[in-house]
Amino acid sequence: MKILIGSKNPAKIKAVQAAFNHYSSEYVALDIPSLVNSQPLSDRETIEGAINRAKGALATHDGKIGIGLEGGVEKTDFGLFLCNWGALVEEGKPPIIAGGARILLPEEIAKHLIAGEELGPVMDRFTRKENIRHHEGAVGIFTNGQINRADMFTHVAKLLVGQYEYRNRK
């Protein structure tokens, strides 16, 4: 089964591979535009980005399934939550979607996002590390390594695969 992944981010690729490990799959990681802002600022926009990546992968390449994983934030009365969404697209069927774990971002991080910055560079500055988004991610930093970005996206990808199996059950 050929799986098209709408991102080359290693944390996302790792997650999809972990979720499909009970299939003998071929994975193709592709730079597919999310067609939303590079820092989505709502659940809605983040879901749209995930669906666009999954659809874009399937529309432009040969494969059975397109997967899109997208990170964003959602404003609430409690503060700014990290949010993550995934979409799985098969030809001729509606997208399957699933959401990931959420935690509040500290105010000193949230204020930069509200001011228009992207989380990735803000996290790198805050931690004095490089490319956090490809590694443990903000979720890894603020959960003291208990759940890193690949773990979080693995959960999302498993929710997608499970729903795909349920929809196609014999």
**Residue 130, C-beta contacts closer than 8 angstroms, at least 6 positions apart:** 124
56 three-class SS: helix
Q: Compute CA 130 distance to the chain's CA centroid, rounded to the nearest angstrom.
A: 19
Instruction: Report d(CA 96, CA 91) in Å as an integer.
Output: 12
Binding residue for ligand ITT, selected from 3, 4, 16, 39, defined by CB under 6 A: 39
Using rule CB under 6 A, residue 16 touches ligand ITT: no
Q: In sequence order, what DSSP letters do the residues of 108-146 get, joined into one string?
A: HHHHHHHTT--HHHHHHHHHT-S-GGGTTHHHHHHTTTS
User: Which range binds ligand ITT by CB under 6 A, 90-98, 103-111, 137-145, 157-165?
Assistant: 137-145
Give the CB-nearest residue to ligand ITT: 120
Binding residue for ligand ITT, selected from 43, 45, 48, 70, defined by CB under 6 A: 70
Instruction: Report d(CA 121, CA 135) in Å as an integer.
Output: 13
**Closest to ligand ITT by CB, 125 or 167:** 125
* Least distance (Å) between residue 38 CB and ligand ITT: 5
Using rule CB under 6 A, residue 123 touches ligand ITT: yes
User: Which range binds ligand ITT by CB under 6 A, 54-62, 67-75, 99-107, 160-168?
Assistant: 67-75
Using rule CB under 6 A, residue 55 touches ligand ITT: no
In this structure, are strands 2-5 and 26-29 parallel, antiparallel, or unpaired? parallel
Contact footprint for ligand ITT (CB under 6 A): 7, 9, 12, 38-39, 70-72, 118-120, 123, 132-133, 137-139, 149
